[in-house]
């Protein structure tokens, strides 16, 4: 391609990215909108300063050849090298600090809480029950759903190494530490599905540690959470039934929980309603027929370094039955 075309293609790619579910330039939350405002002020300020500097450089090169007025030079150095940056940086600092408290503050008392733990390389998500109810917490993995226009308090930590919780379209990002809880308050302002990522390098599959955040109307959210709180449904057909037996006999239940069955492991993700999630393997494979089978067959190829062993040694028929079982856990 000629050079201008190449530049156009790069720009088009960048602009097209603005509308994607992971874009900070298309905010879907109050905090992300504030961060975007800060970004535009910083960008605007940087452009103005750059233009001034370039103008001064051109002035020095072309209009003042051989000028050696010591007094004037000193004025330029003190004005342009000390006073100007001190004023500009101070203004930007105050502007940024003024925004900081709302971005890291606690959500208002009584806001919904969601606990998220980072693990190599997936997310454990827990919805604790409301303070006055005797219901149990709802646990799932790699998927978060939120009611629109309501503040939510995230309580974050890690079970192994450092991770960082970031939903670019909603706000963030906040580091997750083992043994220390951090907080993040977000208020989604429109419905839709957005992508969350781990923003701290945490090992082999760091780039494959993602999650979906679906923002819904309150009534839809309540219905979803009620469904998630139920134990797993019984297998719907012969294949799924065989899969449910294999799930226990082949040891899957040592690491995974399927509520309402003998599988009570807690090392890996809770799979009680895995069939209802939008993706499997923490945002890596779309939840489509065949993908559970692919995950079981080539786990370590799909996600290098993953702790779950690949089950390629099982007969094809057994893997198919396990996949059928997982798929219908909705």
Footprint of ligand CUA on this chain (CB under 6 A)? 118, 121, 163, 198, 200-202, 206, 209
Minimum CB separation of residue 160 from ligand CUA in Å reads 9
Helix (H) or strand (E) holding 220: helix 218-229
Minimum CB separation of residue 269 from ligand CUA in Å reads 14
Going by the DSSP 8-state scheme, the letter that residue 256 receives in this structure is -
Q: Report CA torsion sign: 32, 33, 37, 39.
A: positive
Report whether 159 contacts 148 (CB < 8 A). Answer: no
* Cβ burial, residue 93 (10 Å; 0-12/13-18/19+): exposed
Supply angle C-alpha 308, 309, 312, rounded to 5. 135
Minimum CB separation of residue 188 from ligand CUA in Å reads 23
Minimum CB separation of residue 210 from ligand CUA in Å reads 10
Phi, psi at 171, each rounded to 5°:
140, -170
The span from the CA of 259 to the CA of 115, in Å, is 19
Taking the least distance from each CB to ligand CUA, the nearer of 30 and 206 is 206
Minimum CB separation of residue 243 from ligand CUA in Å reads 30
Locate 193 and state its tokens. Answer: 């599905």
Taking the least distance from each CB to ligand CUA, the nearer of 85 and 178 is 178
Taking the least distance from each CB to ligand CUA, the nearer of 30 and 163 is 163
The span from the CA of 151 to the CA of 14, in Å, is 31
Taking the least distance from each CB to ligand CUA, the nearer of 119 and 152 is 119
The span from the CA of 229 to the CA of 272, in Å, is 9
The span from the CA of 258 to the CA of 276, in Å, is 13
Taking the least distance from each CB to ligand CUA, the nearer of 118 and 147 is 118
Taking the least distance from each CB to ligand CUA, the nearer of 112 and 161 is 161
Minimum CB separation of residue 172 from ligand CUA in Å reads 13
**110 CB neighbour count, 10 Å cutoff:** 10
């Amino acid at each position: 391609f000629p050079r201008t075309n190449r530049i156009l293609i790069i720009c088009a790619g960048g602009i097209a990215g603005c509308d994607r579910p992971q874009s900070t330039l298309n905010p879907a939350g109050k905090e992300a909108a504030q961060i975007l405002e800060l970004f535009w002020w910083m960008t605007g300020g940087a452009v103005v300063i750059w233009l001034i500097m370039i103008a001064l450089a051109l002035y020095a090169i072309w209009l003042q050849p051989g000028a050696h007025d010591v007094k004037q030079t000193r004025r330029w150095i003190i004005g342009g090298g000390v006073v100007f940056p001190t004023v500009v940086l101070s203004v930007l600092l105050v502007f940024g600090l003024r925004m900081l408290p709302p971005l890291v503050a606690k959500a208002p008392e009584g806001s919904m809480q969601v606990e998220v733990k980072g693990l190599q390389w997936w997310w454990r998500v827990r919805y604790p029950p409301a303070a006055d109810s005797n219901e149990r917490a709802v646990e799932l993995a790699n998927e978060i759903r939120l009611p629109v226009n309501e503040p939510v308090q995230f309580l974050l930590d890690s079970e192994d190494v450092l991770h960082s919780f970031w939903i670019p379209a909603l706000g963030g990002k906040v580091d997750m530490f083992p043994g220390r809880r951090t907080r993040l308050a977000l208020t989604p302002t429109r419905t839709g599905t957005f992508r969350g990522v781990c923003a701290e390098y945490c090992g082999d599959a760091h780039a494959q540690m993602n999650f979906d955040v679906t923002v819904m109307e309150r009534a839809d959210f309540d219905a979803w959470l009620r469904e998630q709180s139920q134990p797993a449904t019984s297998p719907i057909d012969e294949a799924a039934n065989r899969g449910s037996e294999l799930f226990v006999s082949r040891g899957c239940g040592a690491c995974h929980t399927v509520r309402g069955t003998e599988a009570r492991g807690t090392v890996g993700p809770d799979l009680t309603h895995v069939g209802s999630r939008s993706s499997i393997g923490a945002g890596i494979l779309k939840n489509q027929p065949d993908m559970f089978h692919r995950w079981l067959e080539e786990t370590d190829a799909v996600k290098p370094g993953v702790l779950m062993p690949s089950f390629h040694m099982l007969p094809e028929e057994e893997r198919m039955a396990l996949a059928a079982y997982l798929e219908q856990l909705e």
